[in-house]
A and B are shown apart, each in its own frame.
Chain A
Amino acid sequence: MKIIILLLLYLFSGATYVWAGEQSLNYWEMNMFQGFSKEKGQFGRGNDSAKSIGIEHFSKFSGEYGDWLTTDIQLRLAYNSDNTISDKTIGTGDPETDALDLELHNAYAKFKLLYGRADIWVGHYEPAFGQEPQMDTYSNLLQTMDMKNIGFKMDWGTGIRGVFTGWDYHLTATLGSGMGMHFKGNYLLSGRIGLGETALTDYNLGLSVLYGDVVDTTDGRKLRSNNLTTKKRIGIDATYLYRSFDIKGEVDYGMDNEKSVRYAHDVAGTWVQVSYILPEYQRLHIEAQQENWFYNLSEGERYDSTITAGLSYKLNGAIRLRIYYARDLYMTSGLSDQRIMAQYYYYYPTPGRLLDFKPE
């Protein structure tokens, strides 16, 4: 946390040093999330969202004849209104019990090599698996399967990515512990090959694999135990832009081996998300997502299925409003729930438009 605070002070200091050839962009973020569950009543944290204020500092470094480095730091101070603020609920790193905590999202340096054929990144970034690295779900209520599949969305480590005509690759070697840095013999290797360029063909297909020992944490944050789980995954994903529709899907299969108890079982997931822009009213997006997750698939032990649908409305250049309804179609636990989630999301170079509800 000390490091994060120092970075923050540096980045948002009026005296920030600007390197030669650097272009920097700063953004302010505010997220106001509130949900209502039929089973549990009101909740203040869900779908990787809470009440938070945050910043993003993005920089591009160029020499005389080309770019060579991109850096990004994005973090937020999150307030979980489900928990009461006390000595024990501030900054412990446990998202389930914390009322107040700093959360880190992007924190990377990406070096351009061989004109994009072998760019190298180091820092906190997405492992190269499935849809998550193709999307930015940071501010969205609709999330990918990564939290169930891997246990976190971003991880500390390094990666190499290259793009070629009609295809691309991405390989990553990360810690396998998520946002919290833990060293218990954990590691995670992953890779994805993508086919197709959405800019020319409107589609992209991906084949991903993942292997590693992932540490036991709460949402990739606080260490729960020293136990490691060996994860093996293979997955395919697809994106297709059809008329006013943006259609995305992912199917994954693999094995989880909980090493301490020597318990291995297979897992599988399917995920599809559709976003539609109303042609007559292009501020409004209608979105829907369906997710299935199978634990111990071959023995049919557990099966969770959820559908979410809602509206995303761009009020103006600074504010987006979202409202979604989620329904658990089936939960092995028997606790099938229904939820309504609402979000006000602000993202702008200055905080001056926080209350600017005037449509542009």
Chain B
Amino acid sequence: MKLWRNKSSRVKRQRFYCLLLTAYCLLSTAYSMLPTVSWAAISCELNDPDRDTRRLFPESTGYKTNVITILERGGETLAKKIEERLGDSFEPVYETLDVPHFYYQIFKGKEHIGWVFGANQKGEYGALQLILATDLKGKILNFYYQRISSPDAKRFRDKGFLESFKGLTLNDFLNYDPKTEKVNDPASPLSRIKNPIERNDIDFKATLRGLKKNLIQFNEFWSR
């Protein structure tokens, strides 16, 4: 397809366009300074949202994706608030403010029936990707590890262990202190959940911290 009449005029035009591009990139810097979302940060989105949301909510007919960052929702102020509620500081590799958080609003026809969302958490051997399916109020309906690098991954993915989180809410997790790594209220259903492995409790404690963070962020972003 010949766009230009002859080679030299074509080259001139192309040079002009290249210069235009460079100039425009510089000029639009101001616009680009507006906070948006980056995937360079390690996001925790579903590997395959269609398949995963259908599995978690078999009655669903569709979902709506919402991408939110702490950076755009409140920046450092919001980060501090989340850290206070979490009882721990953010971890620098997986928990930067520009991390995009994906929230999938699940619909059955026109009815909003639930949520699916995840969080990354530093584990013993790499990132844990913790995915929750909740009802509209944030009560856990389902929990699974999208990624876990532990040699004991099978034990963590055991159905019995995952199901022990069903029915829990943010209020239950607020009893967990990631610094002391203890559940403060012995009557809390969370205190009844036991580490599925004997070797150590690093990934178990990381799971509790990650789920608490996940539910706090959901609460901060979506509580009305």
- A185 CB–B CB distance under 8 Å: no
Which residues of chain B are within 8 angstroms of A1 by Cβ–Cβ distance?
A: 3, 14, 17
Pairwise interchain contact B37-A349, C-beta atoms closer than 8 A: yes
Which residues of chain A are within 8 angstroms of B18 by Cβ–Cβ distance?
A: 77, 90-91, 100, 102
Interface string of B28-42 (1 = CB under 8 A from A): 111111111111110
Pairwise interchain contact B50-A349, C-beta atoms closer than 8 A: no
Interface string of A13-28 (1 = CB under 8 A from B): 1100000000111111
- B194 CB–A CB distance under 8 Å: no
Pairwise interchain contact A26-B149, C-beta atoms closer than 8 A: no
Interface size range on A against B: 35 or more
Which residues of chain B are within 8 angstroms of A53 by Cβ–Cβ distance?
A: 25
Which residue on chain B has the smallest CB distance to residue A281? B93
Minimum Cβ distance to chain B for residue A275 (Å): 11
Pairwise interchain contact B122-A102, C-beta atoms closer than 8 A: no
Q: Do A277 and B149 form a contact, CB below 8 Å, given A91-B18, A348-B40?
A: yes
Interface string of A110-135 (1 = CB under 8 A from B): 00100111010000000000000000
Which residues of chain A are within 8 angstroms of B67 by Cβ–Cβ distance?
A: 23, 25, 60
Pairwise interchain contact B11-A318, C-beta atoms closer than 8 A: no
Interface string of A216-247 (1 = CB under 8 A from B): 00000000000000000000000001011000
- A314 CB–B CB distance under 8 Å: yes
Which residue on chain A has the smallest CB distance to residue B49? A116
- A41 CB–B CB distance under 8 Å: no
- B64 CB–A CB distance under 8 Å: yes
Which residue on chain A has the smallest CB distance to residue B36? A349
Which residues of chain A are within 8 angstroms of B127 by Cβ–Cβ distance?
A: 282
Pairwise interchain contact A65-B47, C-beta atoms closer than 8 A: no
Count of B interface residues, CB-CB < 8 Å: 67
Pairwise interchain contact B62-A165, C-beta atoms closer than 8 A: no
Which residue on chain B has the smallest CB distance to residue A56? B39
Which residues of chain B are within 8 angstroms of A117 by Cβ–Cβ distance?
A: 50
- A264 CB–B CB distance under 8 Å: no
Pairwise interchain contact B35-A349, C-beta atoms closer than 8 A: yes
Q: Which of A195-203, A251-259, A330-338 contacts B (4 or more CB under 8 A)?
A: A195-203
- B22 CB–A CB distance under 8 Å: yes
CA gap between A64 and B64 in the complex, in Å: 8
- The 18 listed contacts between A and B (C-beta, < 8 Å) are A1-B17, A5-B17, A14-B30, A65-B107, A88-B11, A90-B14, A90-B18, A91-B18, A102-B17, A115-B61, A116-B49, A199-B52, A200-B144, A277-B149, A318-B40, A347-B39, A349-B98, A350-B32
Besides A8-B21, A87-B12, A314-B93, 16 more A-B contacts (Cβ < 8 Å) are A66-B64, A91-B11, A91-B17, A92-B11, A102-B18, A116-B50, A116-B54, A197-B48, A197-B51, A241-B147, A243-B125, A244-B149, A279-B124, A283-B93, A349-B38, A349-B98
